[in-house]
Structure 1
């Protein structure tokens, strides 16, 4: 077999991997898609925020809430929000569902730090929130970086208060402290997985006291006063709160050639955004109903009422 014939046969029959830039591409369209993805990441740093952003984008494209029993026709665009933490979207196709549907699924939760039910405490005249990690985290990555807090607090009167600390421009940020290098000699001898114990991942909240020198818990009370002034909550309300700490950084371009994206929450929002855009960018009614499932709780086994194992 001639060498040229061999190369041609190899090209036709065998799989060959190519750098994406070696394939035909629309550079402007690719950059626009990535800009949209970065905005999606910045707006949805928790599963609640991500679900809200999905709904906002869907409604801009004509999607409307689905209610059980409502009549649907080909071309209708509907969505269903599951407790504000998971979203299902569908563009109704021309064919009956008996002929099948096209479904894309991804999850919108990411590893993070959750507040414990009674998180607020004071130690050495510093106030902290106790946390418990959600999903698989590399604990050493969460110390000494700016963090923001998002979530919901259910008050005694039944109203839900949205909490956002550190997410807006000019907001203060939170942090988890670590040992200075010259004080961390023993820590440095430990394996990576155990050098930062999980019980030390506590959020530093403040150091400015109120009251007199003889009073106790002055910094804790000062922090609680600030939270009450902004959100109307008391310490007892933390028992009915769902608050999550996430990195206080926005998506950015990585590399001198800007060929990569650095951000919190790539897993699995990179897939969630692609699945969502597949529906939102449909230019005509699909033959089969197109469905996008964006679920919660994947990081801890997909359990719970908003996970993929729920009804």
Structure 2
């Protein structure tokens, strides 16, 4: 039997605020933690002893967050229901020696992170955000959310063939942004500017993890505003939906048969192999410690994992009206058609038939439509944290998401209804 939906278009409004507040993975987990705190969750340190009492908890590690809610009466062997996502997006990231320039232009040296659509970063007003590490080892978030940087495109008069032959960008030579004028390059200038912006003493910063972001705000688009354009939807759209679903479930007073979990990892866009990535030990460590904190044994841990299901939620490809031939001819996911179930028989996605049944049941309970996605056989298929989670932890995993256009662009496009449709499906899944 279907239930009244938890979320509506107001959820999409809130997503826009979340995207603005989260220009880096570090800001994204801070934004998620703030929402969890308001819902009664409390942060626990990995270096502390944990207790197994009822309530919500979360762990922060760099650009990753794992949060869970222990319902009243949960046994040590109670299985988990996990929503997995990632906090990172392709962009331009600042190099260890950032100050550079030529011909009277002051520039910032950047490295390409992940697989961005490089042309989408041209002629766009960019801010700079991330974290600064101080002399005492502590960190400070920084966000210069105004036009600070720009990667200028070459004028067509100096490249007459660009319209006919396409734009060709050299990652080393053509993507260095400008941020001012000056005949000399002064080492330490960018970091000194950021120290001042963050209200820190000069020379206090000894390390940094910084990246560019588009300062153009998210916006509804179209005649009837049925579309949403914005940055970092891949994959903060899923992170936001998972946080909303977890807080809703934890405050609903339901007699939960599972322990609901949010796991949002960093570094998905470059392989997930880090201490904050899905291929690292973070999720397994948190789940095991939760079992042991409730007095469980290794046998209880094995029983809990055997009954656990994870939804790996990441954006997928909506059918593109100008490139329909690039899609499978019988699978054309449409925006505002509900979340997509991703399938690949070569295990680029982790979904199998039994996993499909779990997701179908959740969507039916939430009265949410869903669609199926499979790649064109002639095109390589992307992947997600789904297969990594399934293989590393022995957990049944299902790959899902929201269909978007312009994936990996500095600004992406989705249907304005799909974010809250996903959130409603996640609520039903977490409730069991």
> Is residue 2:107 matched to residue 1:128?
yes
Matched with 2:232 is: 265
Q: Deviation of residue 25 (structure 1)? A: 8.4
Count the aligned residue pairs. Answer: 271
User: How far apart, in 2, do the equivalents of 1:156 and 1:86 lie?
Assistant: 23
> Is residue 2:228 matched to residue 1:248?
no
SS in 1 for 2:115: coil
Q: Deviation of residue 130 (structure 1)? A: 1.1
Matched with 1:174 is: 149
Indicate the structure whose relative CO is greater, using CA pairs within 8 Å and at least 6 residues apart: 1
Structure 1 runs not aligned, ≥5 long:
1-22, 210-215
Alpha carbons 1:296, 1:306 under 8 Å: kept = yes
User: How far apart, in 2, do the equivalents of 1:114 and 1:227 lie?
Assistant: 15
> Is residue 2:263 matched to residue 1:284?
no
* Cα distance change, pair 126–221 in 1 and its aligned pair in 2 (3 A): farther
Matched with 1:107 is: 86
Alpha carbons 2:100, 2:185 under 8 Å: kept = no
Alpha carbons 2:79, 2:258 under 8 Å: kept = yes
Structure 1 residues 243-262: Cα deviation after superposition (integer angstroms, max 9, x where no partner): 11111122110111111110
Alpha carbons 1:109, 1:298 under 8 Å: kept = yes
Alpha carbons 1:125, 1:219 under 8 Å: kept = no
Matched with 2:142 is: 163
TM alignment of 1:1-311, pairs within 5 A: 29-67=7-45, 68-74=48-54, 76-83=55-62, 85-93=63-71, 94-156=73-135, 158-165=137-144, 167=145, 171-188=146-163, 190-192=165-167, 195-199=168-172, 200-207=174-181, 209=182, 217=184, 226-227=193-194, 229-230=196-197, 231-233=200-202, 240-282=207-249, 283-285=252-254, 286-311=256-281
Structure 1 residues 91-113: Cα deviation after superposition (integer angstroms, max 9, x where no partner): 11333241311111111111111
Alpha carbons 1:127, 1:220 under 8 Å: kept = no
User: How far apart, in 2, do the equivalents of 1:71 and 1:90 lie?
Assistant: 13
Alpha carbons 1:205, 1:223 under 8 Å: kept = no
Alpha carbons 1:173, 1:248 under 8 Å: kept = no
User: How far apart, in 2, do the equivalents of 1:295 and 1:99 lie?
Assistant: 23
Structure 1 residues 192-244: Cα deviation after superposition (integer angstroms, max 9, x where no partner): 4xx1211121121101x4xxxxxx6177787676456445456x967x22111
Q: Deviation of residue 36 (structure 1)? A: 1.2
TM-score, with length taken from structure 2: 0.57
* Cα distance change, pair 198–55 in 1 and its aligned pair in 2 (3 A): same
Structure ID, larger Rg: 1
* Cα distance change, pair 154–224 in 1 and its aligned pair in 2 (3 A): closer
User: How far apart, in 2, do the equivalents of 1:259 and 1:186 lie?
Assistant: 37
Structure 1 residues 45-82: Cα deviation after superposition (integer angstroms, max 9, x where no partner): 210110000000000110001244332233x1111111
Structure 1 residues 277-305: Cα deviation after superposition (integer angstroms, max 9, x where no partner): 11111201522111110111100011111
Q: Deviation of residue 24 (structure 1)? A: 11
Structure 1 residues 159-181: Cα deviation after superposition (integer angstroms, max 9, x where no partner): 5443322x1xxx44311111112
